[in-house]
């Protein structure tokens, strides 16, 4: 796949960030958080980011309006807007011959929900966006998109002073898929 073609499509569907992490960057991650536990043939993990609009934070700063951030800076941004963008990019990848698994942004502290279906397999549900408290590294950092700020929120590497992002992942497999 042509990197520019994917980037252009991501921009068309209003993704603010797009990064690719080679599956090798997840070496050493336990099966309960490893992308290959979901898609054993995974070659890459795409990370899609959407910024929190500056205005969604303004009322909080002024101490006068707190619900705007909860809706537009967190709930709707993460669970509606970013989910839709992620799904559109997954469809685009599949339309171009790749298998793509869109992933939700589930907190890592959600426990497994069930028992392993086979000996040696992790329990459902595997959560890919691992967040190691000691090293503060997740899929977005592995994809080279930024780092965690002092407040504990992910910030992109271009606009470190102003932009806070939520991200989603897509696991991709297919011969010849490499945007690195």
Q: What is the pLDDT of residues 133-143, one digit of tens each?
A: 444 567 778 88
Select from 93, 90, 72, 82 the least CA-distant residue to 3: 93
Band the pLDDT of 68: cuts 50, 70, 90.
Answer: confident
- 17 compared with 170, residue with greater pLDDT: 17
Residue 85 confidence (pLDDT) = 92
Nearest 10 degrees: Cα torsion 60, 62, 64, 66: 0
Place of tokens 């909080």: 60
d(CA 126, CA 98): 21
Residue 151 confidence (pLDDT) = 66
Select from 135, 144, 159, 127 the least CA-distant residue to 46: 144
Residue 49, H or E segment: strand 44-51
* Domain layout of the chain by residue ranges: 3-173
List the structure tokens of 175.
């011969």
| This model's pTM is above 0.85 | no
- Alpha helices for the chain (secondary structure H): 3-12, 54-62, 67-68, 76, 82-95, 139-142
The whole-number average pLDDT for the span 81-91 is: 91
User: Does pLDDT of 130 surpass 80?
Assistant: no
Q: Which CATH architecture has domain 3-173?
A: 3-Layer(aba) Sandwich (3.40)
């Amino acid at each position: 796949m042509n990197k520019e073609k994917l980037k252009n499509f991501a921009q068309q569907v209003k993704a603010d960030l797009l990064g690719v992490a080679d599956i090798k960057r997840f070496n050493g991650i336990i099966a309960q958080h490893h992308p290959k536990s979901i898609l054993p043939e995974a070659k890459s993990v795409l990370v899609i980011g959407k910024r929190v609009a500056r205005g969604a934070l303004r009322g909080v700063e002024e101490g006068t309006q707190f619900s705007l951030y909860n809706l537009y800076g967190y709930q709707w941004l993460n669970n509606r807007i970013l989910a839709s963008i992620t799904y559109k990019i997954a469809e685009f990848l599949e339309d171009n011959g790749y298998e793509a698994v869109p992933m939700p942004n589930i907190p890592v502290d959600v426990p497994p929900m069930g028992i392993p279906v086979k000996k040696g397999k992790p329990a459902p549900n595997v959560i890919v966006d691992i967040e190691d408290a000691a090293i503060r590294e997740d899929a977005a950092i592995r994809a080279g998109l930024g780092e965690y700020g002092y407040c504990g929120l992910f910030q992109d590497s271009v606009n470190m002073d102003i932009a806070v992002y939520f991200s989603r992942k897509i696991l991709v497999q297919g011969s010849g898929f490499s945007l690195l």
